[in-house]
Amino acid sequence: MKTMLKLFSLLFISLLISCGGKDEKKKESFSYEKKTTNETKAPVKTETIPASAKVDLTNKGIGPISSVVLNAEIDQAMVTHGQEIYNKMCTACHRPNKKFIGPAQAGVMERRTPEWIMNMILNPEEMVQKDPLAKELLAEFNGAPMANQNLTQEEARAVLEYFRTLK
Amino acid sequence: MKQILKVSVGFLITALVFTSCNNDKSSKSNSALSSSAAEKVYVAPGEYDEFYAFISGGFSGQLSVYGLPSGRLFKVIPVFSQDAEKAWGYNEETKPMLNTSHGFIPWDDSHHPDISQTNGVVDGRYVYINANNTPRIAKIDLTTFETTEIIEIPNSAGNHSSSFVTENTEYVVAGTRFSIPIPQRDMSIKDYKGNFKGALSFLKINPDNGEMAIKFQLLMPGFNYDLSHPGRGKSHGWFFFTTYNTEEANSLLEVNASQNDKDFIAAINWKKIEEYVNNGGGTKVPSKYAHNLYSDETHTATSTMMDEVLTVNPLDVPGAVYLLPTPKSPHGCDVDPTGEYIVGNGKLSANLTVHSFTKMLDAIKNNKIDGEAYGIPILKFEDVLAGSVVQPGLGPLHTEFDGKGNAYTTFFISSEVVKWKLGTWEVIDRKPTYYSVGHLMIPGGNSGQPFGKYVLAMNKITKDRYLPTGPEVTQSAQLYDITGDKMELLLDFPTIGEPHYAAGCPADLIRANSKKLYELGKNKHPYAAKEDADTKVTRKGNEVHIQMTMIRSHFSPDNIEGIKVGDKVYFHVTNLEQDYDVPHGIAMIGANTSELLIMPGQTETFVWEPKEVGVWPFYCTDFCSALHQEMQGYVRVSPASSNIELSWSLGEDF
């Protein structure tokens, strides 16, 4: 009887194993100090606002751009051009409306000065080393560096115009 | 007894004082000397060398790039041999570069690099270099430091008297070392004499892009054509080739090719032959050879098989070819910056023979003919001789010039570089080399304007000069300062392969034009994914094409399913970076090929044929950012019978 039981349990186990091959059920995972992704949670302390949510409309950043004039009316031709460049050069790491490798661009015009944005595009190496906000962003995004895609100032300006349409 | 003791003690003391004094002195002067040599080759951290040196890789088949005076190695440019580090000859894009009429060849023996010239001065645009074994000439573009063209030379064997450029880069020559039956045919080796031919090929260079095309092949008598140099200045329009084995021996050449007291330097008036050819002269003969071109826009090479070549019989162009008698088995054939002197480095001769171009023209004009070889006129030795450097050393091989009226010749047997004066033929200085020096190079040495600051000697033997590394020891070069009357040895440094010739030029000529990246917008690779939206995986039967992108620090897609055992999977990977010095690599477990190392804006492809079911990872091989270790992905491989659809993704909600 004992040996029969042993044989049966062996058979049962081997069946279990062979079943598992095709459609493996999700194994129980574990979590250890996992970052909370839920941003609607009220922060415990005010200092923990992530850099991507901080608003700073005075900092112009470090780089070739010291002043940008935004016309009241959005230039649609420039937006189209800017969106094309964004899709080509930026979507490897960015999505307009959600956090990806880097932060989302929607609403960025309400959080940053136009000069800061263009300097971040045109001069990212120096920005992440010296600009306090850019430094914080680098840390928030796990040290993923903002790549310099060698855009011209004209191209970066067009991308900025596109950002104006992202709410 | 006491006295003796006293005397001997006194003697001992004086001896001690003297010897210790001497020791002091000599060690001091030694360190002062070596520190001044050290200063001359020291390039401080972050500073640049004054010259680029392109040193042939010899049996490595490659071309190495060094800085002078520091002797620091910057890059090994793959040319004729596969290079797994750079995927040269391994990725789908560059395999056609190593195609020949004999099929794909993974290796060759690279010999004589030469920099393109404009108006007799090196211009830093291209380096041309020859493959000795399966005859080919390659062009290296000095904006990218990549090999962008390889052309095979038909009717040639042991492509050694190559690949030297004329003073406006009108032509690059490729002369055969071994004579062979032309066309190739089944015949007795013993019938060599009088039947074999030596083809000297003249490759016309396109002035806009440096591309090569065989303009004509001159079919010369069956000698061995050893080295060559172009005329310049007054002798521009001529080319000079040394010959040996004018005995036309086909066996035991060591003895049988050393019988004649004099061999020849063949003087070829290529302008005259060009004119003849342009007027419809020459005979087209069927000849199979590969012409391979690499495009910086498609990042892909194409190989075209050519089927005929234009040959010229020297007897059909009277006045175009003459033979200058030169003692004994001359090796190097070197022309001074003015174009007047042609040096024949007779390797078995006691003296160094120098011919005069002016005297040669005069001898031709006055018909001073001393016989003929297969109908080609031989000029009288005494009537073309400018002078001899008498017993300067043993086994002369090569000569370069400093542009100040001095010549520098290497002596293989006596292991030295000898400096001598053009015109007076007197020896000025000699310095030992360690050991058995072959070629030497002065930047711009094969041009009308040498930069006579350093001479680089390339040695054949190094034995005890470096820490031993088993039976195979390092190859090496030695740098001498030649600004003073006496040469000064400054530096030994190791080289790759066995260096044959080298070419050098001021760094400023090249530095400003060096490309930093490939523009993504100009990428015309048929499988490029130039933005994230282009990434996809497609199936054509059992061929699967993955169009993937890479940027710091992820692949897109990085999870791929639906691959099956028996599939042939092409990874076409585009580096989306548009910044300087951000290459990425990719390697797949079990792939029977090399990694890819992809420059910003470039697309490269490797093939993987998965043999086993499983989930197999790939990763970035070039440390690219703080998140480099995170740059990885998985491919799921299912059984051949599986019906899992292709799917690909990046990120959970992509």
- ipTM for the predicted complex comes to 0.75
pLDDT at B129: 98
User: Which domain, by its residues, includes A150?
Assistant: 75-164
Residue A21 contacts B, CB cutoff 8 Å: no
> What tokens were used for B85?
């580090």
Over the stretch B521-557, which tens digit does the pLDDT of each residue have? 999 999 999 998 999 999 999 999 999 999 999 999 9
The rounded distance, in Å, linking the Cα atoms of B137 and B230 is: 17
Domain membership of residue A145 (yes or no) is yes
- The whole model's pTM is what? 0.89
B357: phi then psi, degrees, rounded to nearest 5 = -65, -40
Over the stretch B585-639, which tens digit does the pLDDT of each residue have? 999 999 999 999 999 999 999 999 999 999 999 999 999 988 999 999 999 999 9
> What tokens were used for B74?
């910057």
DSSP string, B99-127: EETTEE-----B---EEEEETTEEEEEEE
Residue A129 contacts B, CB cutoff 8 Å: no
Over the stretch B463-513, which tens digit does the pLDDT of each residue have? 999 999 999 999 999 999 999 999 999 999 999 999 999 999 999 999 999
What Å distances lie between residue B536 and B222, B533, B547, B609, B649, CA to CA?
58, 8, 5, 19, 9
Q: Select the residue of A87, A88, A93 nearest B551 (Cβ to Cβ).
A: A93
CA proximity to B50, closest of B580, B444, B485: B444
pLDDT at B314: 98
A92/B551 touch (CB, cutoff 8 Å), yes or no = yes
- Average pLDDT (B338-367) is 96
pLDDT at A35: 66
pLDDT at A21: 46
> Residue B13 — pLDDT band, cuts 50, 70, 90?
very low
Number of residues assigned to chain A: 167
Over the stretch B84-125, which tens digit does the pLDDT of each residue have? 999 999 999 999 999 999 999 999 999 999 999 999 999 999
> Residue B654 — pLDDT band, cuts 50, 70, 90?
very low
pLDDT at B30: 47
A80: phi then psi, degrees, rounded to nearest 5 = -60, -45
Q: Select the residue of B532, B552, B578 nearest A150 (Cβ to Cβ).
A: B578
A100/B578 touch (CB, cutoff 8 Å), yes or no = no
Domain membership of residue A92 (yes or no) is yes
The rounded distance, in Å, linking the Cα atoms of A54 and B55 is: 56
What's the angle, vertex CA B38, arms to CA B34 and CA B43, rounded to 5? 175
Residue in chain B closest to A91 (alpha carbons) equals B532
pLDDT at B313: 98
> Residue A29 — pLDDT band, cuts 50, 70, 90?
confident
**Residue B17 pLDDT exceeds 70:** no
> What are the b/e assignments for B79-90, b being 16+ CB within 10 Å?
bbbbbeebbbbb
Over the stretch A111-150, which tens digit does the pLDDT of each residue have? 999 999 999 999 999 999 999 999 999 999 989 989 999 9
**Residue B253 pLDDT exceeds 50:** yes
Collapsing DSSP states into helix, strand and coil, what is residue B289? strand
Residue A149 contacts B, CB cutoff 8 Å: yes
* A41-50, B328-337, B349-358, B445-454: range with lowest mean pLDDT: A41-50
Mean pLDDT of the residues in chain B: 94
Q: Cβ contacts of residue B253 below 8 Å, gap of 6+?
A: B245
The 10 Å Cβ neighbour count of residue B197 is 22
Q: With beta carbons less than 8 A apart as the criterion, state whether B153 and B137 touch.
A: yes
Domain membership of residue A62 (yes or no) is no
Over the stretch B564-581, which tens digit does the pLDDT of each residue have? 999 999 999 999 999 999
The number of distinct structural domains making up chain A is 1
Over the stretch A46-81, which tens digit does the pLDDT of each residue have? 568 999 999 999 999 999 999 999 999 999 999 999
pLDDT at A9: 56
Residue in chain B closest to A143 (alpha carbons) equals B626
Partners of residue B532 in chain A, C-beta under 8 Å: 91-92
Domain membership of residue A97 (yes or no) is yes
Residue in chain B closest to A123 (alpha carbons) equals B579
| Fold (topology level) of B51-182+192-244+258-272+282-511 | Methylamine Dehydrogenase; Chain H (2.130.10)
- Average pLDDT (A98-108) is 94
DSSP string, B521-573: GG---TT---SGGG-EEEEETTEEEEEEEEETTEEES-EEEEEETT-EEEEEE
- Average pLDDT (B229-243) is 98
The rounded distance, in Å, linking the Cα atoms of B625 and A125 is: 12
**Where would I find the beta strands (DSSP E) of B3-59?**
51-56
Any idea where the domains of chain B sit in the sequence?
51-182+192-244+258-272+282-511, 520-649
Over the stretch B117-150, which tens digit does the pLDDT of each residue have? 999 999 999 999 999 999 999 999 999 999 999 9
Over the stretch B420-470, which tens digit does the pLDDT of each residue have? 999 999 999 999 999 999 999 999 999 999 999 999 999 999 999 999 999
- Check residue B393 and give left, alpha or beta (phi > 0: left; psi -120 to 50: alpha): left
B532/A92 touch (CB, cutoff 8 Å), yes or no = yes
What's the angle, vertex CA B116, arms to CA B48 and CA B91, rounded to 5? 80
**Residue B153 pLDDT exceeds 80:** yes
Residue in chain A closest to B530 (alpha carbons) equals A88
Q: Select the residue of A101, A145, A148 nearest B554 (Cβ to Cβ).
A: A101
Q: With beta carbons less than 8 A apart as the criterion, state whether B64 and B57 touch.
A: yes
Top pLDDT among A45 and B148 is at B148
Partners of residue A149 in chain B, C-beta under 8 Å: 577-579
Q: Cβ contacts of residue B17 below 8 Å, gap of 6+?
A: none
> Residue A36 — pLDDT band, cuts 50, 70, 90?
low
The conformation of residue B279, written as its DSSP 8-state character, comes to: T
pLDDT at B394: 94
Partners of residue B573 in chain A, C-beta under 8 Å: none
Using DSSP bridges, classify how beta strands B559-564 and B632-638 pair: parallel, antiparallel or unpaired. parallel
pLDDT at A19: 43
The type of residue at B289 is Y
Q: What is the CATH number of the domain that holds A80?
A: 1.10.760.10
Question: What's the Rg (C-alpha) of chain A?
Answer: 25
Over the stretch B273-313, which tens digit does the pLDDT of each residue have? 999 999 999 999 999 999 999 999 999 999 999 999 999 99
Over the stretch B398-412, which tens digit does the pLDDT of each residue have? 999 999 999 999 999
> Residue A167 — pLDDT band, cuts 50, 70, 90?
confident
B533/A91 touch (CB, cutoff 8 Å), yes or no = yes
Residue A9 contacts B, CB cutoff 8 Å: no
Q: Which contiguous run of DSSP H or E holds residue A126? A: helix A124-130
Is the torsion defined by CA of B122, B123, B124, B127 positive or negative?
negative
**Residue B376 pLDDT exceeds 70:** yes
DSSP string, B416-476: EEEEEETTT--EEEEEE-SS-EEEEE-TTTTSSS--TTEEEEEES--GGGS---SSS--EE
CATH code of the domain occupying B520-649 = 2.60.40.420
